[in-house]
Amino acid sequence: MIELENVAYSYGGGELLSDISLRLAPGSFHFLTGPSGAGKTTLLKLCYGALLPTAGHVRLFGADVRSLDRDDIAIVRRRVGVVHQDVQFLDHLSLVDNISLPLTVSGRHADTVSNDLNELMTWVGLTNRADALPPELSGGERQRAAVARAVIMSPDVILADEPTGNIDWEMSQRLLRLLIELNKMGKTVLIATHDLSLIRAAKAHVQARVLRITNRRIQLAGADL
């Protein structure tokens, strides 16, 4: 699915990531941990072509990211659902229209997947907020909506950057169950998080590999997690 080979990334004159090799195999489940500023968000951006490595190779579904033009990248990104930390919505559209926007952009009409859309809205606990505008939402509601929008196209890979950072534990568990169910359907999942409790909860239900960024490199995290 996604493969990084001896990847490095420099920012502001200093190297943020160095000699990163990682393979996200079909159906795998990964957590990515590390202190703030370690490069978790940068690594996720490398995984979907938003950034190009300063050294090494990133392959998205078999193609080197440097060989892809803008149209190719757009097509590849339809296969990757991304949950960003800085959630951006169109303030003039209702919540449900924001969530279904990827369907519109890809030429699919939301009416054709209305059952899936309604079920997804229920899963993330936003059914009663479907007609709300983004400025009316709380931080937690925006984060749940971001998860819904990332998976509405049923992507092959889901990359989530602190998806439970602004929501309570009960909703974190609900979203985690959604991601685990998607993984059991064959989706590849990578979650960047500080929340060790979330990782422990997931490991009771799914075989998850826990990675930690330490000193600009990736290491397998300890078995005590």
Given this model, what pLDDT does residue 71 score? 86
**Helix spans in the chain (H):** 40-47, 70-77, 95-99, 101-105, 114-123, 139-151, 169-184, 196-203
Tokens 């190009």 correspond to what residue? Answer: 52
Q: How is residue 10 written in tokens?
A: 């420099």
Q: Residues 164, 167, 168, 174: what is their CA dihedral angle, to the nearest 10 degrees?
A: -60
Q: What is the pTM of this model?
A: 0.88
Given this model, what pLDDT does residue 127 score? 92
Q: Mean pLDDT of successive 10-residue segments in the chain (225 residues)?
A: 92 86 94 89 92 93 90 87 87 93 73 74 90 90 88 91 83 85 91 90 89 89 52
Q: Can you give the residue ranges of every domain in the chain? A: 2-92+150-220
Q: Which CATH architecture describes the domain 2-92+150-220?
A: 3-Layer(aba) Sandwich (3.40)
Q: How many CB atoms lie within 10 A of CB 63?
A: 14
Given this model, what pLDDT does residue 224 score? 42
